[in-house]
Amino acid sequence: MSRTTRSTRTAFKDRVPGGPDGRRMLLIGFIDKCGTGLWATAMALYFTYVTGLGLGQIGLLIAVSGAAGIAGAPLGGRLADRFPLVRVIICTQLLRAAALLALLTTDDYPLLVLFSAIGALPDRATNVLTKLYAARIAGPDRVRYQAINRTTSNFGWTLGGLGAAAALAVGTSTAFHLLLIGDALSYLVMAALTLRCAEPPAPASSRIAAASTDPAPTTKPSSPWRDRGFLAFTAGESVFFLHDSVLQVALPLWIVHATDAPAGLAPLLMVANSALVVVFQVPLARFGSSTEAARRLLTPLAVLFAVGTLALAVSALGGRTVSIAALITAAVALTFAEMIHTIASWEISVALAPDDAQGAYLGVHGLAQSTQRFAGPLLMTGLVSAGPFGWPVLGAALAATCAAQSRLVRRRLTGPSLSVAKVTVSEH
């Protein structure tokens, strides 16, 4: 082995927080996104061509699954506070595989809805559980770890999407079945790799309690459901997560129905979104290296939301050239908004979660993304129907939410209601 190769591997190890388990969990996340990219791209077509469902039936199935998945995040967080985190993660991976494989056993519509809903629960719980594992294994470098995780995940999603495109070009039932089986097998591989991961250290207060010879405390753990400030923060987060639906749902529909831009621009903008995340997510992470720094990111976030939504409105007012330029501007602005929001959301949500109920708090925070996945597409179709003037309204709402969220977090950082000690990530 050359000295250059050894130094490159050493440098990679030094750049990834969390040691061997941190790197192993990154690999697990990469495999997860490869498998998800295989199935998610072809899911609607599978139900159309293989099981013979109509458009309305598919829409209802996806809606019911999305509604069921909302409970996955808080349920996963709750379980993580009560049981070893690694075991909970393995159980969700196995349940995801079982629910997918169950789809192969039937064409009965109620059963397809049931299996899809069952699979949505561990799918949504996984986001919270992997976030919790990263927060514990990476410690003070958790923001950088999450940035690296998003970069590798985008690589995985892209590779999975390319694999799905190749299978869809064949278009046979066997090809669709192989996509589904490939995703299920990815979960089994993930479970095997997770078995090799050590249980991460519990939050400080839990470790102290476990080492003490005194009787266990009789006070109940903190509850996010009684924490109005944290619930308000989560509500604001659900508004911010609309950037997902804007990019994935509204943008393609808007290009086709409201602009003079070619329809082929939509997938190119999605590729640009992934490429920008791969290039800039890790470098941007340094701007959220403390909770206060993450809070300050809410100001440029408001500006990016305003630029992105105004550009969408402008794209419907000009000719082909103006439409293309405005749409590219919107996609770039909203992609950077997505990256900055991810950094701020990750750091602030972990900082506001108390040690004695970290899983429960992050589970409730996970409701923001789950709710957006359910309600966001409906809102986006309404905005597209409303025409150009709906986008400035959305931009104003997002900017106002940024201002409200900044004030809320600042009060939590300086007031006695803060869930954690007043210490920045860099001081851990």
Q: What is residue 420's predicted lDDT score, i.e. its pLDDT?
A: 38
Taking only the tens place, the pLDDT of each residue in 29-72 is 899 988 888 887 678 778 888 888 886 787 788 778 888 888 88
- 193, two tokens: 């790799």
Does position 243 have pLDDT exceeding 60, yes or no?
yes
CA dihedral 135, 95, 167, 45 (to 10 degrees): -110
Supply the pLDDT for residue 270. 79
The helix (H) or strand (E) run that includes residue 280 is helix 265-284
Of the given ranges (216-220, 365-369, 402-406), which has the lowest mean pLDDT? 216-220
Predicted confidence band of residue 208 (pLDDT cuts 50, 70, 90):
very low
The per-residue pLDDT for 17 is 74
Give the model's pLDDT for residue 381. 81
pLDDT above 70: percentage of residues in the chain? 88
- Min mean pLDDT across 187-201, 238-252, 295-309, 408-422 is at 408-422
Checking if the pLDDT of 89 tops 90, the result is yes
Distances in Å between the Cα of 111 and the Cα atoms of 115, 157, 215 are 6, 28, 48
pTM for the predicted model, two decimal places: 0.72
Concatenated DSSP letters for 44-88?
HHHHHHTS---HHHHHHHHHHHHHHHTTHHHHHHHHHHHS-HHHH
- Give the range among 4-13, 153-162, 176-185, 304-313 with minimum mean pLDDT: 4-13
Q: Which of 55-64, 121-130, 248-257 has the lowest mean pLDDT?
A: 55-64
Question: pLDDT grade, residue 14 (50/70/90)?
Answer: low
Tell how far CA 297 is from the center of its chain: 19
Which of 37-46, 99-108, 206-215, 253-262 bottoms out in mean pLDDT, i.e. has the lowest? Answer: 206-215
Residue 172 CB-density burial (10 A; 0-12 exposed, 13-18 middle, 19+ buried): exposed
Mean pLDDT of 125-145: 81
CB-CB neighbours of 317 under 10 Å = 12
Q: In this model, does residue 279 exceed pLDDT 60?
A: yes
Evaluate whether 200 touches 21 at the Cβ level (below 8 Å).
yes
- Asked whether 366 and 238 are in contact (CB, 8 A), the reply is no
Q: Is the pLDDT of residue 12 over 70?
A: no
Confidence of residue 425 (pLDDT cuts 50, 70, 90): very low
Lowest mean pLDDT: which of 6-15, 99-108, 367-376, 389-398? 6-15
* CB neighbour list of residue 259: distance below 8 Å, 6 or more residues apart: 315, 316, 323, 327
Instruction: Say which amino acid occupies 109.
Output: Y
pLDDT of residue 415: 53
- Overall average pLDDT of the 188-198 stretch: 93
DSSP labels for 322-385? HHHHHHHHHHHHHHHHHHHHHHHHHHHHHHTS-GGGHHHHHHHHHHHHHHHHHHHHHHHHHHHH
pLDDT at 13: 56
In this predicted structure, what is the pLDDT of residue 210? Answer: 31
Q: How far is CA 337 from CA 125, 127, 147, 234, in A?
A: 24, 20, 14, 18
Cβ proximity of 309 and 391 under 8 Å: yes
Burial code of 106-120, b = ≥16 C-beta within 10 A, e = fewer?
A: eeebeebbbbbbbbb
pLDDT at residue 423 in the model: 35
Mean pLDDT to the nearest integer, 308-326 = 93
